[in-house]
Structure 1
Amino acid sequence: MRIGTNGLNLIKQFEGCRLTAYNLGDGKITIGWGHAEPVGQTSLVAGVTTWTQAQADNQLIADLVGYENAVNNYFTRSFNQNQFDALVSFAYNLGGGVFANYNWSKTASDSWICSEMILYVNKGTQFEEGLTRRRNAEIALYKSSDSNNTVGPGTASWTWPFTKAYTGVIYVDGQQFGNTSYPRGRGYFHDGFDFDSSVYGPDILAVSDGEVIYTGVMGDGLGSVIVLSIPPYQVMYQEFSQSMSDIFVSVGQKVTKGQRIGQLNGGTHLHLGITKKDWRTALASWDIDDGSWLNPIEILQSGGESPQPNMEELKDMLKLFKINTGYKSLQVVNTETLKYFAMNAEESARMRKFLYDKEPLFEPAEFQNVLDIIKHVL
């Protein structure tokens, strides 16, 4: 497992970030989000060495790997994301060897862990009050339900691909999903959403529990690519780097919501695409709106539900929509039919193509099946 948003935020809250190195008299020089190196064994100079915010953020992520491994490798029992995050914060504060040094049980119960954590507060020192607050916060996180990095009400199983939630702002026309003013290939369609590196990152997170089905660096502008299978979807992360070193997962690995799977490095954005098809098949439709690619923002906001087209637009389209049998036409304006097409993103996309591009909506072999569907909902 890797630390989630709640754990990362808790660590940042209590560590604080100082961009100039300092000495607390504990034999270490500290800088950034609590990054410490022994006096005499470091190039850090208290009061002299300065970092940028990006340096501090990147160092924290690098440092946390060791503490994540400390939890992953020590315990033989499983934890949910919030429990794991609390233990990583605890280890980050006390050292990765804390569990072995104090002979914690590898199968310790939840109640024992919480009762034990509160004991580590350096009683009688100037640090006791602050450490007590931190232990209480870690225990509260450990006991809380696993809703790490929730997108909205009722959507605990999905999250945003970064620790920073979607701002709702389109910074550059062309980064949004759908038809844009920016020309691409055969038209102006954009098959995903581009999360700008100046706003989001660097950590890239799994948007839900799933399995890694592809990692690699691809040509044709795709760059570093991670594909997750999150049934019924395949979620494609691309263009965030040009190096395998920025991919932290491997094919066949199970991932959990909010787990760090890569980092945005050197690119201008992360492109996130979501499809119900095999992702390689869907790539053939990267520049046309044929229903292969779904709006990732709407799916994340709705907790994994398929996006629904605008109902007023759909009603206007359906008033014009006719299925021609060769003998007569059936006008489709029934409310239940509207509901069916509204909930079926792929059919809605094909309707738009039929109405606006004047291409056949259904192949002959599909025709009877479509009639059966409409008869069912009428």
Structure 2
Amino acid sequence: MSALPRKVPDAACDLVMAWEGLRLEAYRDSGGVWTIGYGHTAPGFGKGFRISLLVALAWLAEDLEIAAKRLEGRIGREAVDSLSDNQYAALLSFVFNLGAGADWTIWRLLREGRLDEVPNQMARFVHAGGVKLKGLVNRRAAEIKLWRSATS
């Protein structure tokens, strides 16, 4: 039987909530994807679709669990467990926002324990559609700040 997954830190929830914002009615994001709640995307909703705050919070929890599984799939349980809570929270926000591309250098650095190089890799992910976006620059800066802050 496998070990229980690592708990999603409150700091991950707080960071995602701050950057995604809360929208209780579906809207198209900058990429044209129908989105609702705290950045939740899924088929089956569109214009006029509404949810409650409780649903938004439940979907956020589910989406962060998905991000945690993706992260662990890329770097392994041992590497995940070696991270501080704030490092883990920063990476969960990063994966929530971007996904977890298989060929990204950041995963190799994490597996190798080269944690001092991770912020520079995170800072590279600030473009959408080939355009550098101030919002992504600011979000990566917040994730990096959390990554570097001390916690257990």
- TM tier, smaller: 0.7 to 0.9
Please report how far the alpha carbon of residue 25 of structure 1 lies from its aligned counterpart in structure 2 after TM superposition.
5.2
Report matched runs for 1:148-227 at 5 Å.
Answer: none
2:44 equivalent in structure 1: 43
Q: Do 1:71 and 1:84's aligned partners in 2 also have CA atoms closer than 8 Å?
A: no
Matches within 5 A, 1:4-153: 4-24=9-29, 26-37=31-42, 42-46=43-47, 48-76=48-76, 77=79, 78-95=82-99, 97-98=100-101, 100-103=102-105, 104-105=107-108, 106-122=111-127, 125=131, 128-146=133-151
SS of 2:127 mapped into structure 1: coil
Counterparts of 2:30 and 2:139, CA distance in 1: 21
* Residues 137, 50 of structure 1: alpha-carbon distance in 2 compared, 3 angstrom cutoff: same
Q: CA deviation at 1:128?
A: 1.1
Which portions of structure 1, spanning 4 or more consecutive aligned residues, are displaced by more than 6 angstroms? none
**Aligned 1:359-374 pairs, distance under 5 A:** none
Three-state SS of the structure 2 residue aligned to 1:22 is strand
Counterpart CA distance in 2 for 1:35 and 1:29 is 9
SS of 1:51 mapped into structure 2: coil
Task: Between the two structures, name the one with larger relative contact order (CA 8 Å, sep ≥ 6).
Answer: 2
SS in structure 2 opposite 1:115?
Answer: helix
2:75 maps to amino acid: F
In structure 1, give the amino acid aligned to 2:55: Q
SS of residue matched to 1:19: strand
Max radius of gyration: which structure?
1
Deviation per residue, 1:129-180 (Å, 9 max, x gap): 0111110110111111116xxxxxxxxxxxxxxxxxxxxxxxxxxxxxxxxx
Q: Secondary structure at the match of 1:49?
A: coil
Q: TM-score, normalised by structure 1?
A: 0.35
After TM superposition, give the deviation of residue 3 of structure 1 in Å. 1.6
Q: Distance in 2 between matches of 1:45 and 1:140?
A: 35
Instruction: Determine helix, strand or coil for the equivalent of 1:101.
Output: coil
> Percent identical across equivalent pairs?
30
User: 1:27: how far off?
Assistant: 4.1
Cα separation, 2, equivalents of 1:118 and 1:82: 17
For the residues of structure 2 that align with 1:33 and 1:24, how far apart are their CA atoms? Answer: 12
Task: State how far apart, in whole Å, the 1-side matches of 2:75 and 2:86 are.
Answer: 15
Instruction: Give the aligned CA root-mean-square deviation in angstroms.
Output: 1.8
Structure 1 partner of 2:3: none
Letter in 2 for 1:130: G
Query: Of Structure 1 and Structure 2, which has the larger fraction of its residues in strand?
Result: 1
Gaps of 5+ in 1: 148-378
Q: What CA distance in whole angstroms lies between the structure 2 residues aligned with 1:25 and 1:129? A: 13
Superposition pairs of residues 321-332 of structure 1, within 5 angstroms: none
Name the amino acid aligned to 1:139.
I
Amino acid at match of 1:81: D
Residue 2 of structure 1 and its aligned partner are, at CA, apart by 2.3
